[in-house]
Amino acid sequence: MVYPQPPMCGIVGLIGAHDAAREAFLGLTTLQHRGQDAAGILTYDADGFHRVKNIGLVESVFTRENMETLTGSLAIAHTRYSTIGRGDVIDVQPFLLSYPFGLGMVHNGNIVNCGDLRADLKTKSRRHLLTRSDSEVVLNLFADGLAKASNVNVSESLVQFDDICEAVGHVFSRVNGSYSIITAIADQGLVAFRDPSGIRPLIWGKRSSQGSEQHMIASESVALSFLGYEVVRNIEPGEVVFIDMKGKVQSRKIAGPALPFRPCMFEWVYFASPESVMDGVPVYGARIHLGKNLARLLKDKIREKAIDADIIVPVPETSRIAAIALSEELNIPYREVLIKNRYIKRTFILDSQDKRQKAVNLKLSPVRSEIAGKRVILLDDSIVRGTTSRKIIELMRAAGAAKVYFVSTCPPIQYPCYYGIDFPVGAELIASGRDLKEIERELGADAVIYQELEGLENSIREGEVCGFRPCTACLDGNYPTDISAAGLEFSNRRKVDRPDQHCRKEKT
Ligand code: SF4
């Protein structure tokens, strides 16, 4: 059996705030770009846990009435990125478990060996899982580890930090994949940890007001700055941070599998908000560098007379920043002549090929008067299936463009992502098994120019003492963790799901 995987998401945790639910709600709105499928908030106070979750955008899930039920100064929250299909409410986070202590959990990432872990939990730990989410698997493993560790310290009414570390160590020793996690423990506090490769982001902030301290942990720094929290630091790969109900903070690097720090390059290319600083590297700055590195490649093409362009046009929204830098470097005018209908969701997220193709027409309108007769450099953040790119090129030609050169800020995506970005498998990726000429033909472009891998890595690292190489596995096949379990699952998925392409188990 193949289970749906929780995809990219935004997560938030708060402790000490007077109205934690309100801040969680505002935090989620700043992370809405990370997930538009469903949202949930869980709070805790003397009356116990309180939870509201549903399918839909943050603003539609929460109402004045249901927000009033979310009392307490401890909160965790989640906004979910859609896979194919919508999913059931039961799969919407935060998840909750009564034992030990009472645990709530939110997760951003994707578990590669979920099938094996699920089977073990059933047969060895006698745990019956209620949802099809891999986040529930992590929650149960954490609970197992914490129950065993805290039973040893049964005389203590407060959870011991050593016990939390043991539980996180239990997760690290079993779970393979990407996971940034925030957990609320009833009467005890907030726990945050990040997988040993640090593939998904997690950042910690602090604020002082009226003589007390509040802490916030979130997927991106934009959530902290929006709510007036000062950044303390990023949660490090393999680290656990525990903030108790009195605000005391303890942290430790857990001895887990020795894996290199590999944050996902796609956060800077596409996913993260431009205001955010991810693992010390500003997203906006990285996108400027992506444009400048592309300019170096394009200057060669212009010198060779392979390209001669009148305007540079960004495909909204993500590629704007790189397109401005490209325009400045090449001294070719920047024109926003593809106008986006902002009320339609990202096509990357829509749940079938047919819907994606129709959505492109609904989503973008060309400004004909500015395009007709022009030779256009179109800049997009990436080319995945090529569906959207082909449609946009058709739109530009229908609007009278004399030439269309398609430029991608990301190098060719050739391999699937097992860590939470919703790429398809194998042949559905346009760059998989095709050379550049074939891609140009498929897209109907006069030329296709990709960012080079080195240019991408330099763009993320340039000017920053970041001390890491980003994960680029979908570009070069070098996965930071063992993916053998995923290989089986993905090949099963293709056999099971591809005939109708509507199964929500497959990444889009
Ligand atoms: S495989 Fe690609 S999309 Fe997935 S985590 Fe690595 S860099 Fe990001």
Last residue of a domain, one of 199, 234, 262: 262
- Mean pLDDT, the chain cut into blocks of 10 residues (508 residues total): 56 96 98 94 97 96 97 97 65 95 96 93 92 93 94 73 96 96 97 97 93 95 98 97 97 85 96 96 96 96 93 95 98 96 61 58 86 98 93 95 98 94 82 94 97 95 75 95 72 34 27
Per-residue pLDDT at 267: 96
Residue 424 CA, chain-centre distance (Å), reads 16
Return the closest-CA partner of residue 476 out of 274, 267, 294, 262. 262
- Residue 328 located in a structural domain: yes
Q: How far is the CA of 419 from the centre of ligand 1 (A)?
A: 6
Q: How far is the CA of 388 from the centre of ligand 1 (A)?
A: 20
- Residue 326 located in a structural domain: yes
Pair (62, 148) in one structural domain: yes
Per-residue pLDDT at 39: 97
Strand, helix or coil for residue 119:
helix
Measured from the Cα of 473, ligand 1's closest atom is: 1
Q: How far is the CA of 418 from the centre of ligand 1 (A)?
A: 7
Per-residue pLDDT at 493: 42
Per-residue pLDDT at 500: 26
Residue with tokens 């289970």, as numbered in its chain: 3
Per-residue pLDDT at 211: 82
Q: How far is the CA of 500 from the centre of ligand 1 (A)?
A: 26
**Which candidate in 9, 165, 264, 410 is catalytic?**
9
Angle at 227 between CA 8 and CA 164, to 5 degrees: 60
Measured from the Cα of 415, ligand 1's closest atom is: 1
Number of structural domains found in the chain: 2
Q: Which residue, by CA, sits nearest to atom 8 of ligand 1?
A: 264
Pair (292, 379) in one structural domain: yes
Q: Which residue, by CA, sits nearest to atom 4 of ligand 1?
A: 417
Q: Which residue, by CA, sits nearest to atom 5 of ligand 1?
A: 264
* Residue 71 and residue 48 in contact, taking contact as beta carbons nearer than 8 Å: no
- CA Rg value for the chain: 23
Find the residues whose C-beta lies inside 6 A of ligand 1.
199, 264-266, 417, 419, 421, 471-474
Per-residue pLDDT at 448: 97
What the block records as the tokens of 268 is 């800077």
The answer to whether residue 9 is catalytic is: yes
Per-residue pLDDT at 6: 44
Pair (341, 470) in one structural domain: yes
Pair (331, 232) in one structural domain: no
Pair (250, 314) in one structural domain: no
Residue 408's domain comprises: 281-479
